[in-house]
Protein backbone atom coordinates (compact mmCIF):
# COMPACT_ATOMS: atom_id res chain seq x y z
CA UNK A 1 0.00 0.00 0.00
CA UNK A 2 1.44 3.31 -1.03
CA UNK A 3 0.27 6.62 0.27
CA UNK A 4 1.06 10.00 -1.24
CA UNK A 5 0.61 13.14 0.84
CA UNK A 6 0.09 16.32 -1.18
CA UNK A 7 1.23 19.36 0.78
CA UNK A 8 1.02 22.98 -0.18
CA UNK A 9 -0.58 26.20 0.95
CA UNK A 10 -4.22 27.11 0.29
CA UNK A 11 -4.71 27.80 -3.41
CA UNK A 12 -1.67 25.80 -4.56
CA UNK A 13 -3.87 23.39 -6.53
CA UNK A 14 -3.73 20.31 -4.29
CA UNK A 15 -7.36 19.34 -4.85
CA UNK A 16 -7.18 19.76 -8.61
CA UNK A 17 -3.92 17.83 -8.87
CA UNK A 18 -5.14 15.07 -6.52
CA UNK A 19 -8.21 14.49 -8.71
CA UNK A 20 -6.02 14.26 -11.82
CA UNK A 21 -3.66 11.84 -10.03
CA UNK A 22 -6.63 9.75 -8.92
CA UNK A 23 -7.57 9.25 -12.57
CA UNK A 24 -4.06 8.52 -13.79
CA UNK A 25 -2.82 6.37 -10.88
CA UNK A 26 -6.02 4.59 -9.91
CA UNK A 27 -5.55 5.56 -6.26
CA UNK A 28 -8.45 7.31 -4.53
CA UNK A 29 -8.14 10.93 -3.48
CA UNK A 30 -8.85 11.22 0.23
CA UNK A 31 -9.76 14.80 1.05
CA UNK A 32 -10.64 15.74 4.61
CA UNK A 33 -12.99 18.40 3.27
CA UNK A 34 -14.86 15.75 1.27
CA UNK A 35 -14.90 13.43 4.29
CA UNK A 36 -16.41 16.12 6.49
CA UNK A 37 -19.07 16.99 3.90
CA UNK A 38 -19.95 13.29 3.44
CA UNK A 39 -20.17 12.55 7.17
CA UNK A 40 -22.20 15.69 7.90
CA UNK A 41 -24.59 15.21 4.98
CA UNK A 42 -25.18 11.53 5.76
CA UNK A 43 -25.41 12.19 9.49
CA UNK A 44 -22.98 9.42 10.37
CA UNK A 45 -21.97 9.07 14.01
CA UNK A 46 -18.70 10.85 13.21
CA UNK A 47 -20.61 13.56 11.35
CA UNK A 48 -22.94 14.12 14.30
CA UNK A 49 -19.94 14.29 16.64
CA UNK A 50 -18.16 16.76 14.37
CA UNK A 51 -21.29 18.93 14.19
CA UNK A 52 -21.41 19.27 17.99
CA UNK A 53 -18.05 21.06 17.84
CA UNK A 54 -18.81 23.02 14.68
CA UNK A 55 -22.13 24.29 16.06
CA UNK A 56 -20.23 25.77 18.99
CA UNK A 57 -17.71 27.39 16.63
CA UNK A 58 -14.96 25.08 17.85
CA UNK A 59 -12.38 23.19 15.82
CA UNK A 60 -13.17 19.53 15.35
CA UNK A 61 -10.62 17.54 17.42
CA UNK A 62 -7.93 15.58 15.61
CA UNK A 63 -9.35 12.31 16.98
CA UNK A 64 -12.59 12.84 15.02
CA UNK A 65 -10.76 13.79 11.81
CA UNK A 66 -8.43 10.81 12.18
CA UNK A 67 -11.41 8.48 12.72
CA UNK A 68 -12.97 9.74 9.47
CA UNK A 69 -9.71 9.15 7.60
CA UNK A 70 -9.36 5.70 9.16
CA UNK A 71 -12.86 4.73 8.01
CA UNK A 72 -12.11 5.98 4.50
CA UNK A 73 -8.78 4.16 4.23
CA UNK A 74 -10.50 0.93 5.28
CA UNK A 75 -12.61 1.09 2.09
CA UNK A 76 -11.94 -1.47 -0.63
CA UNK A 77 -10.86 1.14 -3.19
CA UNK A 78 -8.05 2.26 -0.85
CA UNK A 79 -6.59 -1.25 -0.53
CA UNK A 80 -3.62 -0.27 -2.71
CA UNK A 81 -3.13 3.12 -1.07
CA UNK A 82 -4.43 6.65 -1.51
CA UNK A 83 -3.61 10.24 -2.32
CA UNK A 84 -4.04 12.26 0.86
CA UNK A 85 -5.19 15.82 0.22
CA UNK A 86 -5.54 18.11 3.24
CA UNK A 87 -4.40 15.47 5.72
CA UNK A 88 -2.37 15.52 7.84
CA UNK A 89 -2.45 19.22 8.73
CA UNK A 90 -0.75 19.06 12.12
CA UNK A 91 1.99 17.07 13.81
CA UNK A 92 -0.60 15.26 15.94
CA UNK A 93 -2.43 14.17 12.77
CA UNK A 94 0.88 13.07 11.20
CA UNK A 95 1.63 10.92 14.24
CA UNK A 96 -1.86 9.41 14.09
CA UNK A 97 -1.42 8.72 10.37
CA UNK A 98 1.86 6.92 11.05
CA UNK A 99 0.10 4.66 13.57
CA UNK A 100 -2.82 4.07 11.20
CA UNK A 101 -0.57 3.16 8.26
CA UNK A 102 1.40 0.80 10.49
CA UNK A 103 -1.88 -1.00 11.33
CA UNK A 104 -2.84 -1.13 7.64
CA UNK A 105 0.58 -2.30 6.49
CA UNK A 106 1.04 0.78 4.33
CA UNK A 107 3.68 3.44 4.03
CA UNK A 108 4.11 6.98 2.83
CA UNK A 109 6.05 6.79 -0.42
CA UNK A 110 6.46 10.49 -1.18
CA UNK A 111 5.31 13.93 -0.03
CA UNK A 112 5.10 16.28 -3.01
CA UNK A 113 5.14 19.90 -1.85
CA UNK A 114 3.46 22.32 -4.26
CA UNK A 115 5.49 25.52 -4.07
CA UNK A 116 3.73 28.76 -5.04
CA UNK A 117 4.58 32.38 -4.22
CA UNK A 118 2.38 33.81 -1.44
CA UNK A 119 1.17 36.83 -3.45
CA UNK A 120 0.32 34.58 -6.39
CA UNK A 121 -1.74 32.42 -4.01
CA UNK A 122 -3.63 35.42 -2.67
CA UNK A 123 -4.49 36.51 -6.22
CA UNK A 124 -5.54 32.96 -7.19
CA UNK A 125 -7.81 32.63 -4.19
CA UNK A 126 -9.36 36.07 -4.68
CA UNK A 127 -10.08 35.19 -8.32
CA UNK A 128 -11.54 31.81 -7.32
CA UNK A 129 -13.72 33.49 -4.67
CA UNK A 130 -15.08 35.86 -7.30
CA UNK A 131 -15.75 33.08 -9.83
CA UNK A 132 -17.35 30.75 -7.27
CA UNK A 133 -19.19 33.53 -5.41
CA UNK A 134 -17.41 32.89 -2.12
CA UNK A 135 -18.21 36.07 -0.21
CA UNK A 136 -16.37 34.77 2.86
CA UNK A 137 -13.04 34.53 0.98
CA UNK A 138 -11.83 38.09 1.48
CA UNK A 139 -8.19 39.07 1.34
CA UNK A 140 -8.10 39.13 5.16
CA UNK A 141 -9.52 35.61 5.51
CA UNK A 142 -7.19 34.33 2.80
CA UNK A 143 -4.17 35.83 4.57
CA UNK A 144 -5.38 34.30 7.85
CA UNK A 145 -5.57 30.87 6.17
CA UNK A 146 -2.00 31.39 4.90
CA UNK A 147 -0.83 32.25 8.41
CA UNK A 148 -2.53 29.17 9.87
CA UNK A 149 -0.87 27.04 7.16
CA UNK A 150 2.55 28.55 7.97
CA UNK A 151 2.09 27.91 11.70
CA UNK A 152 0.45 24.49 11.70
CA UNK A 153 1.05 22.65 8.45
CA UNK A 154 4.36 23.92 7.11
CA UNK A 155 6.26 22.35 10.07
CA UNK A 156 5.20 18.97 8.65
CA UNK A 157 7.57 19.62 5.76
CA UNK A 158 10.49 19.46 8.20
CA UNK A 159 9.08 16.27 9.71
CA UNK A 160 8.76 14.55 6.34
CA UNK A 161 12.00 16.09 5.03
CA UNK A 162 13.89 14.37 7.85
CA UNK A 163 12.46 11.09 6.54
CA UNK A 164 13.61 11.92 3.00
CA UNK A 165 10.06 12.02 1.62
CA UNK A 166 9.57 15.64 0.50
CA UNK A 167 10.01 16.63 -3.13
CA UNK A 168 9.28 20.23 -4.11
CA UNK A 169 7.19 20.78 -7.23
CA UNK A 170 6.85 24.19 -8.86
CA UNK A 171 3.15 24.96 -8.57
CA UNK A 172 3.38 28.05 -10.80
CA UNK A 173 3.58 25.93 -13.94
CA UNK A 174 0.53 25.10 -16.04
CA UNK A 175 -1.91 22.54 -14.60
CA UNK A 176 -0.63 19.96 -17.10
CA UNK A 177 3.05 20.64 -16.34
CA UNK A 178 2.42 20.35 -12.59
CA UNK A 179 0.61 17.05 -13.20
CA UNK A 180 3.50 15.69 -15.26
CA UNK A 181 5.99 16.74 -12.59
CA UNK A 182 3.90 15.08 -9.88
CA UNK A 183 3.64 11.82 -11.82
CA UNK A 184 7.42 11.79 -12.35
CA UNK A 185 8.02 12.37 -8.62
CA UNK A 186 5.59 9.59 -7.67
CA UNK A 187 7.00 7.12 -10.21
CA UNK A 188 10.56 7.77 -9.02
CA UNK A 189 9.52 7.19 -5.40
CA UNK A 190 7.65 3.94 -6.06
Q: Which tens digits make up the pLDDT trace of 10-65?
A: 889 999 999 999 999 999 999 988 999 999 999 999 999 999 988 887 778 999 99
Report the pLDDT value the prediction gives residue 160, as an integer from 0 to 100: 97
**pTM of the prediction?**
0.89
The residues carrying an active-site annotation are 14, 89, 128, 134, 145
Give the whole-angstrom CA distance, residue 144 versus residue 79. Answer: 37
Report the pLDDT value the prediction gives residue 28, as an integer from 0 to 100: 97
With beta carbons less than 8 A apart as the criterion, state whether 41 and 51 touch: no
Domain ranges for the chain, please list them: 2-116+155-189
**Class of the 2-116+155-189 domain?**
alpha beta
Amino acid sequence: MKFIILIGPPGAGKGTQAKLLEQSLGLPQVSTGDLFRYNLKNETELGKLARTYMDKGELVPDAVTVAMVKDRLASADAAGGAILDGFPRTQAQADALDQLLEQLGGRITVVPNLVVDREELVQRLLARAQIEGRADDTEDTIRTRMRVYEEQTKPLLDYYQQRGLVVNVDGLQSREAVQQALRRVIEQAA
